[in-house]
Structure 1
Amino acid sequence: IYIHTVYSYSIIIYLNSNFSLKCVRDTSVTSVVFPGLYSTLFLFALVLNCLAAWIFFNIRSTSTFVVYLKNIVVADLLMTLTIPLKVLADSDVGSWRLRAFYCRYSAVLFYTTMYISILLLGLISLDRYMKIVRPFWKCPLQRVGVGQALSAGVWAVMVSLALPNTILSDRTPSLSSGRLKCTSMKNQAGILWHEVLNSLLQVVFWGTLVLMVVCYTFISRKVYESYRASRSGSITASRKTTAKVFVVVGVFFVCFAPFHFARVPYTLTQTRSVANQCRASNALYVAKETTLWLSATNVCLDPLIYVFLCKVFRKRLTAALKRKPLPQGALESPTETSTQLEMSHVHNRMSVRPR
Structure 2
Amino acid sequence: MDKLDSNASKEEGFCQLSEDYKQIYLSLTYSIIFVLGLPLNGTVLWLSWCQTKRWSCATIYLVNLMVADLLYVLTLPFLIVTYSLGDRWPFGDLLCKLVRFLFYTNLYGSILLLTCISVHRFLGVCHPLRSLPYRTPRHAWQGAAATWALVVLQLLPTLAFSHTDYVDGQMICYDMTSPENFDQFFTYGVVLTLSGFVLPSMVILVCYSQMVRSLTKPRETLMGTGNAARAKSIRTILLVCGLFTLCFVPFHVTRSFYLAIRFLLSEDCQLLETASAAYKIWRPLASLSSCLNPVLYFLSGGNNRVKLLQKLRQNRVAEHPAGAKAEMPTGVQVWILPR
TM-score of the aligned structures, taking structure 1 as reference length: 0.73
Equivalence map 1:136-147=2 (5 Å) = 136-138=129-131, 141-147=134-140
Task: Select the residue among 258, 266, 271 that pairs with 2:258.
Answer: 266
Q: Report how far residue 99 of structure 1 moved.
A: 7.2
Query: 1:84 matched to which residue of 2?
Result: 77
Q: Report how far residue 164 of structure 1 moved.
A: 2.1
Query: 1:330 matched to which residue of 2?
Result: none
Report if aligned partners of 1:119, 1:154 keep a CA contact under 8 Å in 2: yes
Query: 1:202 matched to which residue of 2?
Result: 194
Task: Select the residue among 22, 27, 34 that pairs with 2:19.
Answer: 27
Report if aligned partners of 1:89, 1:102 keep a CA contact under 8 Å in 2: no
One-letter amino acid of the counterpart of residue 208, structure 1: P
- Check if 1:159 corresponds to 2:152: yes
Equivalence map 1:1-355=2 (5 Å) = 20-21=12-13, 23-59=15-51, 60-92=53-85, 95-98=88-91, 100=93, 103-138=96-131, 141-169=134-162, 173-176=165-168, 180=172, 182=174, 186=178, 192-193=184-185, 195-227=187-219, 242-243=234-235, 245-269=237-261, 272=263, 274-323=265-314
Report if aligned partners of 2:162, 2:173 keep a CA contact under 8 Å in 1: no
Whole-Å Cα distance in 1 between the matches of residues 278 and 87 of structure 2? 25
Structure 1 residues 20 and 308: alpha-carbon distance in aligned structure 2, compared to 1, 3 A threshold: closer
Whole-Å Cα distance in 1 between the matches of residues 177 and 233 of structure 2? 50
One-letter amino acid of the counterpart of residue 31, structure 2: S
* Structure with greater Cα Rg: 1
Whole-Å Cα distance in 2 between the matches of residues 18 and 102 of structure 1? 26
Greater Cα offset, 143-152 or 118-127: 143-152
Whole-Å Cα distance in 1 between the matches of residues 209 and 142 of structure 2? 27
Structure 1 residues 55 and 191: alpha-carbon distance in aligned structure 2, compared to 1, 3 A threshold: farther
Report if aligned partners of 2:14, 2:267 keep a CA contact under 8 Å in 1: no
One-letter amino acid of the counterpart of residue 46, structure 1: L
Greater Cα offset, 102-111 or 220-229: 220-229
User: Structure 1, residues 308-353: CA drift from partner, whole Å, max 9, x if none?
Assistant: 212342321232355579xxxxxxxxxxxxxxxxxxxxxxxxxxxx
Query: 2:332 matched to which residue of 1?
Result: none
Greater Cα offset, 46-55 or 246-255: 246-255
Structure 1 residues 20 and 40: alpha-carbon distance in aligned structure 2, compared to 1, 3 A threshold: closer
Report if aligned partners of 1:119, 1:208 keep a CA contact under 8 Å in 2: yes
Structure 1 residues 241 and 186: alpha-carbon distance in aligned structure 2, compared to 1, 3 A threshold: closer
Whole-Å Cα distance in 2 between the matches of residues 18 and 310 of structure 1? 53
Greater Cα offset, 160-169 or 94-103: 94-103
SS in 2 for 1:225: coil
SS in 2 for 1:24: coil
Unaligned runs of 5+ in 1: 1-16, 326-355
Q: Report how far residue 153 of structure 1 moved.
A: 1.4
Q: Report how far residue 129 of structure 1 moved.
A: 0.8
Whole-Å Cα distance in 2 between the matches of residues 61 and 204 of structure 1? 31
Q: Report how far residue 242 of structure 1 moved.
A: 3.3
Task: State the identity as a percent.
Answer: 25
One-letter amino acid of the counterpart of residue 66, structure 2: V
Q: Report how far residue 50 of structure 1 moved.
A: 0.6
Unaligned runs of 5+ in 2: 1-8, 317-339
TM-score of the aligned structures, taking structure 2 as reference length: 0.76
One-letter amino acid of the counterpart of residue 310, structure 1: G
Whole-Å Cα distance in 2 between the matches of residues 311 and 18 of structure 1? 55
One-letter amino acid of the counterpart of residue 318, structure 1: L
Report if aligned partners of 1:61, 1:67 keep a CA contact under 8 Å in 2: no
